[in-house]
Amino acid sequence: MKCSLNIFLFIFVLTIAQYSNSQMQIFNHVEPSNWWSGMEHSEVEILFHREKIGEYEVTCEGLNILKIRKTENPNFLFVTVDTENKNPGFYKLVFQSSAKKSKKKLSYDFELKERREESKLRKGFDQSDVIYLIMPDRFSNGNPDNDSDDSVYEKMDRGNPGGRHGGDVEGIINHLDYIHELGATAIWTTPLMEDNDSTYSYHTYAQSDVYKIDPRFGSNQDYVNLVKHAHEKGIKIIQDVVTNHWGYMHWMMFDTPTKDWFHQFPEFTQSNFRMTTHMDPYRSEIDYKECTDGWFVKTMPDLNQDNPLVLNYLIQNSIWWVETADLDGIRVDTYSFNSKEGISKWTHAMMNEYPNFSIVGEVWMLDQAQIAFWQRESPVAAIQDYNSGLPYLMDFTLMDGMSKCFEEPEQSWNKGMLRVYENFINDYLFTNPRNLCVFFENHDTERFNEKFPNIEDYKLAMTLISTTRGVPQIYYGSEIGMQGKRNYGDGDIRRDFPGGWKEDKHNAFDSEQRTERENSYFEFSKNLLNWRKNKKVIHQGKMMHYVPKQNVYVYFRFDSEETVMVIINNSPENRTLNLSRFKQNISNRKLAYDVLNHESYDIDLSKTFEVKGKTSYVLELR
């Protein structure tokens, strides 16, 4: 009986798969291919792509068609259906040719799926999380069978620093235990969508199909499996979304729905990258246009979010992935290169669908007022009556300060730990400074451990981002001391994680195979991040800091139950702290336990405290 049931299920699944494929043979593209019942975004605009589909009339059984949009390209038809209060199931759209004497009919069964319970109220990442940034092609090759694929141009070439190396989704799944042991609670992968560039396609920021995982990374189902397995281990998944541009090999570049789907100029025009033109009261229109409409590079055509069809396409695509894969957050690439109005509408639509969701935007600017402009309900942006709706931002000014301060052993008026202190005093500019991602490097910068090869500097930096306000983000491999020089090209700062390939002779995923140096980095990181996991005082507590003296920065995190004192001595010399200076925070506490060094100290306001050179302390005051 059990055997017969299994055969029945196999035949049923095979039949559904064959039926789905036959539908897609009728149409080149149907996007989105399905939707869900009970969505806020209930008016779904379905793109149908097929030769001369624009010449057809459309009806639908069971769904009200609100709008049919035909464009100057007859190969496209945009059909908006109303799914509000509709039950899950299949709804047939029938296409009748309007050509004289033609009786040709086409059909497509559009599925409304059952939405996950509480999907709308899903909780995104927050200050209790630590984000682990992975470049999938360089992390681990879990499935060698998909290293190359006939459907895409570039094949695996691990010997080429700028080529594809074979890392994939399965490789990440295989090492979730490693990430969990480290103490990270969320994974942000650089984009996984198909990128069919002939070269340099591994980074996947020039996407050729945004509804499809690149076959060299795996399948859509593999991605769903990654999220499922990550959730089982208490790890969240953040998707990297690119709303500003696609790749020159995107299928719409060969058959474009409208003339203004992409920004076009009489000749190639690259962005001037002057994001300040968004808020500059004296800007010229040509400068603003070149920033927002110019192409990132020649291989990345710029999307026109001011076209309602484009904007809705991007909104629906992101919602589709959140529902399909059960995502926990989104990181938006080059957020401030988009149309200011367009990206605000995209963000508001996403947050309306998921009010507790987390979206962080990449705004790579080095002025805090200019960064703060992009946070939702920003008082800075309110001057211009603008509200992006964006909850989270990346603290690039802190990253910039950290890239300099640790090579400054002597403090001056604006150097050393003063750079860090001055960064935080400008938090008044932000709507919510806790909603900043804090980091000292990412996939576009020189490796921190390259610039600062001593573990002492790494410990200072890790202590800072793990205990200050905000959400810490670390870059894969930093926790084992990986290095990489920006001047040697992107391939060098995106090296393969040792042990991620079966042929690797050295496996840094395994504690027994790590070098002594690698284990020193890992054990420090593991100890600090796992301590942080359950520290509400770090996640939500208040912060008070003191002006650095002699290159020693001291701050406190505290709430009604706990007080943590953080000391970062950036000087190579030992320093003596007069504890009476910190009376406001130490109060009557007499004992301090150092989380990093596992030592206890007596605390007496009438005495001093000796701190070692280039050493950090995280003291639980009791």
**pLDDT at residue number 99:** 75
**pLDDT at residue number 356:** 98
- Phi, psi at 62, each rounded to 5°: 100, -15
Residue 299 has pLDDT above 50, yes or no: yes
Residue 295 has pLDDT above 60, yes or no: yes
Residue 17 has pLDDT above 80, yes or no: no
Please indicate whether the domains covering 24-113 and 542-621 agree at the CATH topology level: yes
**pLDDT at residue number 98:** 80
For the segment(s) 542-621, the CATH number from 1.10.10.60, 2.60.120.10, 2.60.40.1180, 3.20.20.70 is 2.60.40.1180
Residue 16 has pLDDT above 60, yes or no: no
User: Taking CA 368 as the corner, what is the angle to CA 486 and CA 552, rounded to the nearest 5 degrees?
Assistant: 75
**What is the rounded CA–CA span in Å between residue 50 and residue 73?**
11
Query: Which of the residues are catalytic?
Result: 333, 362
Residue 514 tokens, joined: 């790590």
* pLDDT digit string, tens, across residues 323-379: 999 999 999 999 999 999 999 999 999 999 999 999 999 999 999 999 999 999 999
- Long-range contacts, stretch 193-198, CB < 8 angstroms, 24+ apart: 194/152, 195/247, 195/249, 196/152, 196/153, 196/154, 196/247, 196/249, 197/153, 197/154, 197/247, 197/248, 197/249, 197/299, 198/153, 198/154, 198/249
State the fold for domain 128-241+439-534. Answer: TIM Barrel (3.20.20)
- When pLDDT is cut at 50, 70 and 90, the band that residue 1 belongs to is very low
- Once rounded to an integer, what is the mean pLDDT over residues 570-577? 98
Average pLDDT, the chain: 95
Residue 152 tokens, joined: 């895409």
Smallest Cα–Cα separation from 436: which of 476, 399, 478?
Answer: 399
Smallest Cα–Cα separation from 370: which of 437, 470, 274, 245?
Answer: 274
DSSP 304-318: -TTSHHHHHHHHHHH
**pLDDT at residue number 20:** 47
**What is the rounded CA–CA span in Å between residue 575 and residue 608?**
10
**Which of 3-12, 481-490, 521-530 is predicted with the least confidence, judged by mean pLDDT?**
3-12
State the fold for domain 24-113. Answer: Immunoglobulin-like (2.60.40)
For the chain, the structural domain boundaries read: 24-113, 128-241+439-534, 372-388+399-435, 542-621
- Once rounded to an integer, what is the mean pLDDT over residues 226-239? 98
